C-alpha cells in the first residue's frame, strides 16, 4: 500500500465545489471515478481544501491510497488522459502513509481577483468579480495590514460555520494592481468558512471609501459577522498553493507558486 499526493488545478465554474454533493457533480466525485476506473479498485481521495461551488484552484491537494505499482510521479499523466479539460493534475508523487493534508501544518495561499473597469468584460466574467466603483489599492493595502498575525477572525466567518475556534494566523495579505485588475493575495495557516471572500468584500469597501483602512482593526475587535463587509462572489477566488512543512525533503516538498 502506498499514498499518492496529487496537485489539482480546476475551473470551478461547472462544479458544486470540491466535496461530494447529492445535488450536483463535484471535483472529488470526478477524481474518485477516474481513479477507480484507472486502478480497477475503489478509490476515495482526501482533499486538503473543500473549496465552494464556483471557486477555482491552481494548487489544491488530494491524497489517496492504492495497491497499484504505478510510480507516484506517473499518476498525473495517466489521470490527465481521463479527466475533463477543466480539471488537470499538475503533479503527483508518493508521500508517507502517515501524511494527511488536513491534519498537518500548512501554508495556504489564495488570490481574489477584481475587475475594476467601467463595464464588465465577458472574457473575464468567470474568473474575477466586477465592480465599476473606483478602488484605491493603497487604502486596501493599509487595511489589509491589520489582518496580518494571529487574530480572532469571527467577524470574517460565515455565521453557519461550525468550528471549535475562530482564531487563525495570517502570514501575509497584500493588494496589487495589474492594469484594471486588483489582486488580493493572502497566505495563512488556515482559513474559516468564507473567510477569504469576506476579507475581499471588506477590503473592497475600504477601497471604495465606505470604511477607512483602520476600520479593519475595529471589525476584528467586534467579533461579529455584521461588522464586516459582504461576502464577495466565489468566481473571483482561486486557491493558488499549499506548502507542507512536514514534507521537508526537497523530493517531497509541495510548493506551487
Selected catalytic residue, list 11, 52, 65, 136: 52
Is the distance from CB of 127 to CB of 111 less than 8 angstroms?
no
What span, in angstroms and rounded, lies between the C-alpha atoms of 140 and 34? 43
249 in catalytic set = no
Q: Is 110 annotated as a binding residue?
A: yes
What span, in angstroms and rounded, lies between the C-alpha atoms of 250 and 253? 5
Radius of gyration of the CA atoms of the chain, in A: 19
Please name the residue ranges forming H helices in the chain: 27-39, 75-80, 137-145, 195-207, 215-222
How far apart, in Å, are the Cα atoms of 120 and each of 78, 81, 132, 177, 181? 39, 35, 8, 17, 12
Closest CA to 95 of 255, 235, 253, 238: 253
- Which cell goes with 188? 495563512
- Which cell goes with 215? 476600520
Residues catalogued as catalytic = 52
Binding residue ranges for substrate: 110
Binding residue ranges: 110
Amino acid at each position: 500500500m502506498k499514498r499518492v499526493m496529487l496537485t489539482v488545478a480546476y475551473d470551478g465554474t461547472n462544479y458544486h465545489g470540491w466535496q461530494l454533493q447529492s445535488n450536483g457533480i463535484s471535483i472529488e466525485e470526478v477524481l474518485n471515478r477516474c481513479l477507480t476506473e484507472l486502478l480497477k479498485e475503489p478509490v476515495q481521495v482526501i482533499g486538503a481544501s473543500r473549496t465552494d461551488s464556483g471557486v477555482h484552484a491552481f494548487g489544491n491537494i488530494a491524497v489517496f491510497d492504492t495497491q497499484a505499482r504505478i510510480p507516484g510521479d506517473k499518476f498525473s499523466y495517466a489521470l490527465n488522459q481521463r479527466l475533463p479539460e477543466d480539471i488537470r493534475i499538475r503533479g503527483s508523487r508518493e508521500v508517507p502513509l502517515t501524511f494527511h493534508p488536513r491534519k498537518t501544518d500548512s501554508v495556504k495561499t489564495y488570490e481574489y481577483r477584481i475587475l475594476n473597469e467601467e463595464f464588465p468584460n465577458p472574457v473575464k466574467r468567470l474568473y474575477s468579480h466586477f465592480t465599476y466603483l473606483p478602488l484605491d489599492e493603497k487604502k486596501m493595502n493599509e487595511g489589509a495590514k491589520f489582518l496580518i498575525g494571529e487574530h480572532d477572525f469571527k467577524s470574517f466567518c460565515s455565521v453557519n460555520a461550525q468550528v471549535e475556534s475562530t482564531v487563525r494566523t495570517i502570514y501575509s495579505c497584500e493588494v496589487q494592481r495589474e492594469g484594471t485588475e486588483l489582486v488580493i493575495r493572502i497566505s495563512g495557516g488556515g482559513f474559516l468558512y468564507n473567510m477569504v471572500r469576506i476579507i475581499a468584500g471588506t477590503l473592497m469597501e475600504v477601497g471604495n471609501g465606505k470604511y477607512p483602512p483602520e476600520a479593519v482593526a475595529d471589525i476584528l475587535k467586534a467579533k461579529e459577522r455584521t461588522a464586516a463587509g459582504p461576502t464577495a462572489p466565489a468566481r473571483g477566488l482561486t486557491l493558488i498553493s499549499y506548502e507542507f512543512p512536514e514534507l521537508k525533503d526537497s523530493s517531497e516538498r509541495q510548493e506551487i507558486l
